Chains A and B, each alone.
Chain A
Amino acid sequence: MNFFYFSSPSTFFRLAGRLAPAFFILAAVLAAAGLYVGLVQAPTDAVQGEVYRVIFIHVPAAWMSMFIYFVMACYGAMALTFNSRLSAMMARALAPTGAMFTFVALWTGAFWGRPTWGTYWVWDARITSELVLLFLYLGFIALSNAFEEPRRGDRAASLLSIIGIVNLPIIYFSVQWWNTLHQGSSIKLTGSSMHVTMLTAMLLMTFAAWMYAIAASLVRVRSVILERERRARWVRDLGRT
């Protein structure tokens, strides 16, 4: 199979249209299972009580906020290096979903922090660097829309995404590098300190968030492709699907 076959916007537009509903369904099924296991099956935490259940939305959102940024920066790098139109469009399509997950991670963190730390917000290294990530996403979105010529916006935003990637290790290692209120990681490559039911719920919710991010990005990139390529013959010949 030709690797570059799907890098054509016209080919990818059709592929994205076929894949997006499947990813939305997968996300819904995984989220339903994750919520059931997390809110019904998982035991009450011995220390935090019921409020720990925020973890099933907070941690997947935080993981996705970083993962989506990494993927977005990779697309940005490809757009700058190979001048590929679809890479820039994918980066642009990922940014709002990444920003949404970052906002959810910050918001749920605040509502988890209040009963456990006694405050909604503290200028802790982990939380502050996550807030910087939200500003990077917003900056990317603003910059990519700031130019009359979309390709110039793509280049500027791609550059910002690549520079901003330095923030990801800061977020991840912040709890080790600095003395923070935020707890360390409960899941490592060597194992987990969590109850197996809690871990199952968290992983189900993470996969649900992942599938949702893919689905939302595929839908958004179709709109971006349509707007950018609206003068192309293949778009004008399209039926509305």
Chain B
Amino acid sequence: MEGHGFYLAMSYGMAAVAIVVELVALALGRARAWKQVEEERSLEAQD
């Protein structure tokens, strides 16, 4: 790697981290959205 391994690792590593963070955020967003739907359903059931 001619001493360039650090720069390659930091580049590809951060890209991987960014994608993982986004995928986790997507999953959390999905769960939050469904929670709101469930709350709406329970409110309707109470009425």
Contact = CB atoms under 8 A, between A and B. Distances in A.
A230 B9 CA distance: 43
A230 B33 CA distance: 8
B4 A51 contact: yes
A158 to B, nearest CB: 21
Nearest to B38: A240
Interface string A88-107: 00000000110010011001
Nearest to A55: B11
A219 B21 CA distance: 14
A114 interface: yes
Contacts of B25: 96
Contacts of B5: 50
8 contacts: A50-B4, A103-B18, A107-B15, A111-B14, A114-B7, A220-B26, A231-B40, A240-B34
A106 to B, nearest CB: 10
B23 to A, nearest CB: 8
B29 A223 contact: yes
A136 interface: no
B7 A104 contact: no
Counting chain B residues whose Cβ lies within 8 A of the other chain, the interface size class is 20 to 34
A50 B8 CA distance: 8
Given A54-B8, A115-B7, A223-B30, A236 B37 contact: yes
A227 B33 contact: yes
Interface string B4-47: 11011011101100110111011001101110110011001000
Contacts of A23: none
A51 B8 contact: yes
Interface of A: 49-51, 53-54, 57-58, 61, 96-97, 100, 103-104, 107-108, 111-112, 114-115, 212, 216, 219-220, 222-224, 226-227, 230-231, 235-236, 238, 240
Contacts, number: 84
A111 B18 contact: no
A170 to B, nearest CB: 24
Given A103-B18, A107-B10, 11 more contacts: A49-B4, A97-B22, A107-B11, A108-B14, A108-B15, A212-B19, A227-B32, A227-B36, A230-B33, A235-B40, A236-B40
Contacts of B21: 100
Contacts of B22: 96-97, 100, 216
A57 to B, nearest CB: 5
Contacts of B14: 104, 107-108, 111
